[in-house]
Amino acid sequence: MSAPLSPRVFDSPGELGDTLAQEIADGIAEAGRDSRPYVLGCPGGRSPKPVYEALAALTAERGLDLRHVVIAMMDEYVVPAPAGGYQDVPHSAHNSCHRFAAQEIVAPLNAAARPGLGIPDRSVWFPDPADPAAYEERLAEAGGVDLFILASGASDGHIAFNPPGSPEDSRSRITVLADTTREDNLGTFPGFGSIDEVPRHGVTVGVRTIVAHSRRAVMVVHGRHKREAVRRLTAGTGYDPSWPATLVALCENPGLYVDRAAAGFGTAVGIGTAVAVAVEEDAV
């Protein structure tokens, strides 16, 4: 068991993103001075976007060299392959995490970097649906993930594509997406016309993957729709499989960054005491 997480509360998603991006930029610069890779664990979706945007701004401001940065993505939608097993959805698809990584993470960072100092294509990693277990080896051989940015599903606490009920010892694998997760994805990818268009399977890092390979993990939660996530993340003292995002409590050097909307301004019924106290202190 671990102690309940005390959240750090920010006035806005932008302020949250700026703070975490500063830490990541410092880590990138330090790794560059040490001539070693900097592995950044990245989810797709809405929650981490303020961090990615702020990191691009800092890349330009500081003139960061990103050639040693590795982007370790967490998941991808998959569909049945003609020869059996599963394959990624087309990487050009609106809901492809490969597309998200290329357009929403790497392209802005490389545009902000000076010519020749961007992230190489070979340094954007994904679990392979043909051999998910190989991702475990790849992360281990890299020395682990310097910082894992994490996000919690609003309705069911899924993290990456780990559905409620995922065991603590789960590793990278093909999963069946929970219907609650698929409903959440309608908001993440507005190109879906209905839940029937959302794939039913994904390849994902596991709970143990994140816990075992991260040297620092920060859960980012913002928006009124994430108040239940904040309540669940601050209420427990360990991993609760009914809300997989609680795995952050097991990670080395964990952090929980929330905005005031997600915290409920310290007044919403059911919000944990730690959040109410943090909001009140932040207002002083």
Judge whether 94 lies within some domain.
yes
Residue 221's identity, in one-letter code, is V
Residue 279 has pLDDT above 80, yes or no: no
User: What pLDDT, on a 0 to 100 scale, did the predictor assign at position 4?
Assistant: 75
55: left (phi over 0), alpha (psi -120 to 50) or beta: alpha
Judge whether 178 lies within some domain.
yes
- CATH number for the domain harbouring residue 221: 3.40.50.1360
**Average of per-residue pLDDT across 139-153:** 97
pLDDT by residue (tens digit) across 3-51? 678 999 999 999 999 999 999 999 999 999 999 999 999 999 999 999 9
Q: Residue 162 is part of which domain span?
A: 8-283
pLDDT by residue (tens digit) across 82-115? 999 999 999 999 999 999 999 999 999 999 999 9
Judge whether 1 lies within some domain.
no
Residue 61 has pLDDT above 90, yes or no: yes
User: What pLDDT, on a 0 to 100 scale, did the predictor assign at position 265?
Assistant: 60
User: What pLDDT, on a 0 to 100 scale, did the predictor assign at position 236?
Assistant: 76
Q: What is the pTM of this model?
A: 0.91
Judge whether 3 lies within some domain.
no
User: What pLDDT, on a 0 to 100 scale, did the predictor assign at position 268?
Assistant: 34
Judge whether 247 lies within some domain.
yes
